[in-house]
Amino acid sequence: MAQLWGGRFTKETDAKVFDFNASLGFDKRLFYDDVEGSLAHVQMLAKCGIITEEEMELITGGLGSIRSDVESGKLEISGQYEDVHSFVEAVLIERIGDAGKKMHTGRSRNDQVALDMRLYTRRNVLLVRGKIHDLLESILTVIEANKETVMPGFTHLQKAQPVTLAHHFAAYFEMFRRDKDRLRDVYERMNYCPLGAGALAGTTYPLDRKFVASKLGFAAPTANSMDSVSDRDYLIEYLAALSIIMMHLSRFCEEIIIWNSNEYGFVNIDDSFATGSSIMPQKKNPDVAELTRGKTGRVYGDLVSLLTTMKSLPLAYNKDMQEDKEAAFDAMDTVADCLDVFTGMIDTLTFNKEIMERSAAKGFTNATDAADYLVGKGVPFRDAHGIIGQIVIYCDANSKSIEECTLEELRSVSEYFDEDIYEHISLNTCVDKRQTMGAPSAQSMDEFVKAAQEYLKVSEEEL
């Protein structure tokens, strides 16, 4: 058992306690960030005259050799070490001797782990943001190709009014665009360096915190040392943003599952993104969509777990906080995986445009437009609504759509109908006339696409 704090103890730690306390099994993924943080720390120590240049060189060389040995697989991050910080320090001392014992001067594991976790999370935010960008591009490709693909729009999962596939996908573009922006906000708010906060009360060494912060690419050092070691807000915010991403993915998945059902038949999931049944030879199941929907609960769980861990902690550091890692890593891994497979599924998804269009033609999606037609002829909207309601009852009883009624049939309900009603309630007219900003007409969608392309360009240059 290699511990950093043996001096004050007269007994060995109970083996069960050691295992219970240890975090190496899951914090080893902070290794590269731990080394990066230590490199910046010792450069600052030398610059401030707290260690000598030679000591700094020795430590830097030692850390470099540890890093390349881990990279090449020569050195495995395992063994009886409490955590990744203890592992690095112990191996360093083994390799370079006394100089290695100076690395931790003016630092505590409390500000060290706070730094490592921020460095790791900051990178992950960029990674996930890149994956959201890829998804947005895939969605935009579908939008661009389907401005004329009419489909039913739903409310209460009942056919409501005709829209286009482009318009439907544009709704998801908006959701993921907000997600991308949320990640920028998370990034900017978390981008402050906690190193130098010490255990909780700063240190008596004349550290240059600004130097370390800028070396590691942070906007500035954090402002309060107690907050610095006990703040996990950025993780909670990030997990909240990840939860919202999962909620969006889950909604999208739900629609794809419905659209892929035999009853709807709007889409075909590519064979490479579907799975079969061990007993029913005919089955092709939307497992990617279902699993993504299922994993949403898991990410919410990670968020709630972290919120609950933090909720009653007194200032400053408490060991409870070690529990942040598994939840946070799980959420990060899950979302990254889901985005990868989901985007692949969208890229290979094919659309049965005729079925969509036929579906839009059934179910009275043009009833509102028929009422609006009567309004155009001078009928008050409430009366028009009632007239079309009667026509819907008639059509239902006779298994036809409004446009399949003869002018005579229509006129028997209201004399305001004329020959031009058919043109007025054709699906294409219904879509084309919806030209307000954000509406489904091809013209409105052209505007949307232009703005979306611009957004993708500008947002890439933000961070």
Candidate residues 218, 300, 317, 329; the one interacting with ligand ARG per rule CB under 6 A: 317
Concerning whether 359 is annotated as a catalytic residue, the answer is no
Concerning whether 277 is annotated as a catalytic residue, the answer is yes
User: CB-wise, 109 or 159, nearer to ligand ARG?
Assistant: 109
Candidate residues 38, 110, 228, 309; the one interacting with ligand ARG per rule CB under 6 A: 110
Binding mask 83-102 for ligand ARG (x = CB under 6 A): x-------------------
Site for ligand ARG in 356-395 (CB under 6 A): none
Least separation in angstroms between residue 83's CB and ligand ARG is 4
208 binds ligand ARG (CB under 6 A): no
109 binds ligand ARG (CB under 6 A): yes
401 binds ligand ARG (CB under 6 A): no
105 binds ligand ARG (CB under 6 A): no
How many chain residues are in contact with ligand ARG, going by CB under 6 A? 10
434 binds ligand ARG (CB under 6 A): no
Given 68, 78, 261, 277, which residue is catalytic?
277
36 binds ligand ARG (CB under 6 A): no
Given 65, 78, 156, 401, which residue is catalytic?
156
322 binds ligand ARG (CB under 6 A): yes
321 binds ligand ARG (CB under 6 A): yes
Cβ neighbours for 63, distance < 8 A, ≥ 6 positions apart: 35, 38, 39, 42, 88, 92
309 binds ligand ARG (CB under 6 A): no
Candidate residues 113, 142, 151, 195; the one interacting with ligand ARG per rule CB under 6 A: 113
Residues carrying an active site annotation: 156, 277
In the complex, the residues that contact ligand ARG under the rule CB under 6 A are 23, 27, 83, 109-110, 113, 317, 319, 321-322
